[in-house]
Amino acid sequence: MVREAFDQELQRLRNEVLVLGSMVENAIIESVESLKNQDGEAARRIIAQDRLINRRRFEIEADALTLIATQQPMARDLRTIAAVLDLSSELERIGDYAKGIGRITLLMGEEHLIKPLVDLALMAGKARDMLHDALGAFIGADTDLAHAIPQRDDEVDALYNQINRELITLILADPSRIGQANYLLWAAHNLERAADRVTNICERVIFTATGEMVEMDAETGGIESLT
């Protein structure tokens, strides 16, 4: 093969994105587990781990820039490296959401939970699965999968709205719950935003494969071409 060294580097970069993605997937799940179990130690681990996520993101960025500078990639290779830069940024932000949930765990301490956190765990699972599949779509250049994933954001949004309604009901019944309700709503908001960022990742997967930049509206299922 003519560009064996470059291809190996590009593959390594893609794998690094997968590794980062895996760290972030775990962080999402573990952050909500720490909240459910009111596990301060787990929360502190998640917060500390966010530094590793951030460092990895910048290492990926540095490697991508080096590859651009030294190899002058073109066409799909260039779009792939642009996707690596974008995806690593999106993953780092999702990691921040997980860290935020860890902080909420510490803020809530050992307060008696005002509601079981089943729905939050469900949200986290769905967001994690969406992310996992989006990264699979990136590696496999699977545009069909990339088109389908954002539609699952509806389910995450529905859970968020349900949690919102329940918390409001609880506050109205007992205003002293407002503090914890606010924390829980914020945790749900972080998970909802994580799922939104997966839509951004899917848009980038489509751009990498086709050269067409699209904007996908998870709510309406609409797709608008921006090129």
Q: What per-residue string of b and e applies to 48-67 under the rule 16 or more CB within 10 Å gives b?
A: ebbeebeebbeebeebbeeb
Task: Say if CB 53 and CB 59 are below 8 A apart.
Answer: no
Query: Does residue 99 belong to the site contacting another protein (CB under 8 A)?
Result: no
Closest to another protein by CB, 2 vs 226, is: 2
Helix (H, G, I), strand (E, B) or coil at 214: strand
Helix (H, G, I), strand (E, B) or coil at 113: coil
User: What's the min distance (Å) between Cβ of 62 and another protein?
Assistant: 22
Query: Does residue 78 belong to the site contacting another protein (CB under 8 A)?
Result: yes
User: Could you say which DSSP state residue 225 is in?
Assistant: E
Query: Does residue 9 belong to the site contacting another protein (CB under 8 A)?
Result: no
Closest to another protein by CB, 105 vs 143, is: 143
Question: Which residues contact residue 110 at a Cβ distance below 8 angstroms, ignoring those fewer than 6 apart?
Answer: 38
Look-up of token digits 């009901």:
169
Closest to another protein by CB, 4 vs 110, is: 4
Instruction: Write the interaction track for another protein spanning residues 179-218; mark x where CB under 8 A is met and - where it is not.
Output: --------------------------------x-------
Instruction: Write the interaction track for another protein spanning residues 48-77; mark x where CB under 8 A is met and - where it is not.
Output: ------------------------xxxxxx
Closest to another protein by CB, 211 vs 222, is: 211
Q: How far apart are CA 132 and CA 140, in angstroms?
A: 12
Q: How far apart are CA 163 and CA 170, in angstroms?
A: 10
Q: How far apart are CA 124 and CA 187, in angstroms?
A: 10
User: What's the min distance (Å) between Cβ of 216 and another protein?
Assistant: 19
Residues that bind another protein (CB under 8 A): 1-3, 6, 72-79, 211
